[in-house]
Structure 1
């Protein structure tokens, strides 16, 4: 979680969505993002999307590693939040 944005990756979510992705939540908004930081489903405020995009790019390696673990039914690991002054 960072800047009020909750990021989740669901275990075994590959059955429903074959594209690697994660879910982001902010207040009443929910969206799925690919690992390039683009929204693939749902809607998200532009300001919060502007925080999710650089976080995604900074953590692509970890996101891909977690996706592989998730589709194998393994426990995923926590990825550090976006820190102020990072981008």
Structure 2
């Protein structure tokens, strides 16, 4: 994990401190959280969203439809995945 004061991100952290009510440490944590979110692989995203939606009471048909709709909106969108590919990611 990156240190809260990583020089590469100092300009972004400074910007957040200037433009939001966040303190420097809070802004650094936000930057690190966002970077970690976008580091998630497609398979990690599919598994995480499946768990979250299943825990919220959704059934697989709804879950896979929703994941399919969400994937193209990722920062780096993967190629379209079939229902079979999604199931294989989740269940192996």
Fold equivalence (TM over 0.5): no
Larger % of helix: which? 2
Normalised by the size of structure 1, how large is the TM-score? 0.30
* Structure 2 length-normalised TM: 0.29
Where is the strand percentage greater, Structure 1 or Structure 2?
Answer: 1
Q: RCO (CA 8 Å, sep 6+): is it higher in 1 or 2?
A: 1
Q: If you compute each CA radius of gyration, which structure gives the higher value, 1 or 2?
A: 2
